[in-house]
Amino acid sequence: MLQRRHLLGGAAALPFASIGAPAIAQAPRVLRYVPHANLPNIDPFTNTAFVARDHAFLVYDQLYGMDDKFQPRPQMVEGHVVENDGKTWRFTLREGLKFHDNTPVRGRDCIASIRRWGRRDAFGQVLLARVADMVEVSDRVFEIRLNAPFPKMLDCLAKVTTSCLFIMPERLANVDPFTNITEAVGSGPYRFIQNEWVPGSMLAYARNADYVPRQEAPSMTAGGKVTHFDRVEWRIIPDASTASAALQSGEIDWWEQPTADLFPLFQRGAAARNIKVDIINDTGLIGIFRPNHTAAPFNNPAVRRAVLTAINQIDFMTAVIGTSGVEGRADLRREGIGYFAPESPMASNIGMDRLRKNLQAARAELQAAGAMGQRLVLLNATDLASINAATLVGADLFTRMGFNVDLVSTDWGTLVARRASRNPLEQGGWSGFFTFWSGIDHWNPASHASIRGHGENAWPGWPTIPALEAQRDAWFNAPNAAAEAAAGQEMQRIAFDEVPYVPTGMYYQPTAYRRNLTGMLKGQPPLFWNIRRG
């Protein structure tokens, strides 16, 4: 059982109701939340893990938000003007924006944040490649001057896929983009209480009393971010039975990713009266196996294609989410997943016949490629149930294919640190790992980091596939939707041949929360505004 704790530490009592008659101090309104993973570091640009993005949406704000139709809408800005045949964009910030350190948000903060983020993010890199200059016109006005038009500017600034463009003070944004910042200061609806951060145990956030929400209705990361809690606490509880007991007793309010074996429990009897199981991310989670393209055995594309031949997506998704459904969705699993989200405009059936579910054919391909019996260092994160389940299925499959599997099991933070290593296997390197992306991450080539083929600058695994990059450029330069779709289809054809990663299926992850919480927004990521208790 989760240990009960006193939650008023550091919170001031309310002022006196009248002279000579002290009011009774009211306990702060606290939302207690269990995220899917521990937060390894607080830098939203260097850390592409979802948990870093989710943390950042409490602390920071964006120039543009993304509504639930995936359309960008002004957030920190009043609006913009486009001039010079699409090559000059002038943005005006809303009045009164202020960082948590009480300094005003200025154009120079936005420019510095864009530069730092753009060095790390795939979409941002495309933007910076077209930037001639960025200039602060006044404290509230700045310009992005381009050497070529960039029609997807607002989609770029509003993206909800990692890494998102969050605006931080210039002094933090000037930190080298390959060095983690050690202080989380934004202008968002909550303030990070850094001295209460206990890695692996708890994070805490206090309501930002100076935050001025927009006046529109909230829609995903756009609109009015109205907060109804004085404090948000993230409790890191990797043990599912402990988190389950805490949710049922009311010691926590919201568990982001309960394990599949608990769905039936939460949907019957006394638990069902107090707990709601709901799917708030309708784009689902897409599983992938990411091979290391710079080291044997997966530096050989024939070996990567052999994995495609062997894979049976439903095996992975059954291990991850089980066969039980929830209200509104009888089966949480999907197979037949290619290189783009199935509901996206880029989705197609091209190359899907490469997913043959044929172990014997895969063994023959592995033998022909000269990789039978080769060592495979497979990284696993045991503190993430979905990744652990997928990895165990994968380890068994790779063993039956004929690899010599060395399974290295750690926590997620350690895995993220190790996957950055480009050392040989005998010096702490790695061969592959399993993970998941939101469907919106695989929506189009701009947000799709794992399909990139730009070598050393790519996401860990570092594939060098110039043909993929050429088609990505074609998508950015496409004159219409038909041309965009054609580029996406060609990217899928190339991907099934070169295999930047192996798609392992898709599932819908329910969340679970106490029924006395209302106003929870649908979308991606989990959002902490508009929610109230009662």
- Predicted confidence at residue 26, as pLDDT, reads 64
Rg of the chain over Cα atoms, rounded to whole angstroms, equals 24
What is the per-residue DSSP string for 307-346?
Answer: HHHH--HHHHHHHHH-S--BTTBS--EE----SS-TTSTT
The confidence score (pLDDT) of residue 23 equals 47
Pairing of strands 285-291, 432-438: antiparallel
Give residue-wise pLDDT tens across range 175-211.
Answer: 999 999 999 999 999 999 999 999 999 999 999 999 9
Strand partners, 339: none
Q: Which helix (H) or strand (E) holds 289?
A: strand 285-291
Q: Could you write out the DSSP letters of every residue in 51-98?
A: HHHHHHHHH---SEEE-TTS-EEESSEEEEEEETTTTEEEEEEPTT-B
- Give the confidence band of 413 by pLDDT, cuts at 50, 70, 90: confident
Tell whether the model's pLDDT for residue 13 goes beyond 50. Answer: no
Average of per-residue pLDDT values in the chain: 92
- pLDDT value of residue 25: 54
Burial of 403 (0-12, 13-18, 19+ CB in 10 A): buried
Is 90 exceeded by the pLDDT of residue 1? no
pLDDT > 70: what percent of the chain? 95
Contact (Cβ atoms closer than 8 angstroms) between residue 222 and residue 530? no
Q: Is the pLDDT of residue 15 over 70?
A: no
Rounded distance, CA 463 to CA 471, Å? 15
Tokens of 351: 């190359």
- Residue 188, amino acid: G
- Whether 22 shows a pLDDT value over 50: the answer reads no
pLDDT of residue 268: 87
3-state secondary structure 479-529: CCHHHHHHHHHHHHHHHHHHCCCEEEEEECCCEEEECCEECCCCCCCCCCC
Reported as type and span, the H/E element at residue 192 is strand 190-192
> CA 89 to CA 37: how far, in whole Å?
38
Residue pLDDT, tens place only, 467-515? 999 999 999 989 899 999 999 999 999 999 999 999 999 999 999 999 9
Burial code (b: 16+ CB inside 10 Å, e: under 16) for 329-348 equals: eeebbbbebbbbbbebebbb
Per DSSP, the residues of 251-271 read S-SEESS--GGGHHHHTSHHH
Q: What is the mean pLDDT of residues 69-92?
A: 96
What per-residue confidence (pLDDT) applies to 29? Answer: 96
Output helix, strand, coil percentages for the chain, rounded to the nearest 5: 30, 20, 45
pLDDT digit string, tens, across residues 155-168: 999 999 989 999 99
Asked if 277 and 510 count as a contact pair (C-beta separation under 8 A), the reply is yes
pTM of the model: 0.84
Beta-carbon count within 10 A of 275 CB: 22
Instruction: Say what the pLDDT of residue 227 is.
Output: 97
Please report, rounded to a whole number, the percentage of residues in the chain having pLDDT higher than 90.
Answer: 84
Q: In whole angstroms, give the CA distance from residue 393 to residue 429.
A: 22
* Average of per-residue pLDDT across 249-266: 93
